């Protein structure tokens, strides 16, 4: 269990690190809005890194319970983002839509990485 969590944490750290590198490059390149979009992506990784930590503590390191807890949060947390994205699309708010889509795409990517890593060990 600890090894799985460590591998996923490592994945989060790598992703956040890559985001931060891109943010630095974009800021130096006067592409501040794109840098802010990268910050949004990095925040999503950070949210779910925290969720995984909470899952480990709440579920007392039980791998099945941790998986259930984590996947449930992966449904609950982005629910508002889906609504927000739909609303933005309805009103032609491309800026908001882009932000919400980045969040949702990042969640989908995290989910895939989590499931893959967790199931490799099962």
Partner 1 sequence: MTEAEAIRLFKCLADKSRLQILKSLAIEDMYVERLAERLSLTPPTVSFHLKKLADAGAVTSYKSQYYMMYSLNREVFTTSILDIIQKESDEAGLQAQRDAQYRQKVIDTFFEYGKLKSIPTQRKKERIVLEEIVKAFEYDRIYTEREINLVIADFHDDFCTLRRDMVGEGLLARDGQQYWRVRE
* 18 sits near partner 1 (criterion: CB under 8 A): no
* 95 sits near partner 1 (criterion: CB under 8 A): yes
For 14, the token pair is: 């790598």
**Backbone φ, ψ for residue 45 (5° rounding):** -60, -40
For 112, the token pair is: 């895939």
For 94, the token pair is: 């491309």
- Our CB check for partner 1 shows the closer of 4 and 103 to be 103
* 39 sits near partner 1 (criterion: CB under 8 A): no
Among 34, 46, 89, 109, binds partner 1 (CB under 8 A): 34
Minimum separation from the CB atom of position 51 to partner 1 (A): 25
Q: Which residues contact 59 (CB under 8 A, 6 or more apart)?
A: 65, 66, 68, 69
Q: Among the candidate windows 10-18, 51-59, 76-84, 95-103, which touches partner 1 by CB under 8 A?
A: 95-103
Among 83, 94, 112, 116, binds partner 1 (CB under 8 A): 94
For residues 23 and 70, the answer to whether their CB atoms sit within 8 Å is no
* 98 sits near partner 1 (criterion: CB under 8 A): yes
Residue 62 — left, alpha, or beta (φ > 0 → left; ψ -120 to 50 → alpha)? beta
**Residues contributing to the site for partner 1 (CB under 8 A):** 29-34, 37, 93-95, 98, 101-102
């Amino acid at each position: 269990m600890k090894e799985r969590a460590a591998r996923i944490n490592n994945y989060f750290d790598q992703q956040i690190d890559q985001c931060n590198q891109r943010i630095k490059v974009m800021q130096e390149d006067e592409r501040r809005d794109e840098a802010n979009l990268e910050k949004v992506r990095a925040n999503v990784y950070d949210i779910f890194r925290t969720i995984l930590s909470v899952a480990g503590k709440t579920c007392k390191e039980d791998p099945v319970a941790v998986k259930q807890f984590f996947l449930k949060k992966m449904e609950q947390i982005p629910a508002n983002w889906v609504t927000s994205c739909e609303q933005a699309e309805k009103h032609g708010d491309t800026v908001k839509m882009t932000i919400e889509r980045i969040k949702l795409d990042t969640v989908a990517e995290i989910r895939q990485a989590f499931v893959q890593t967790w199931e490799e060990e099962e």
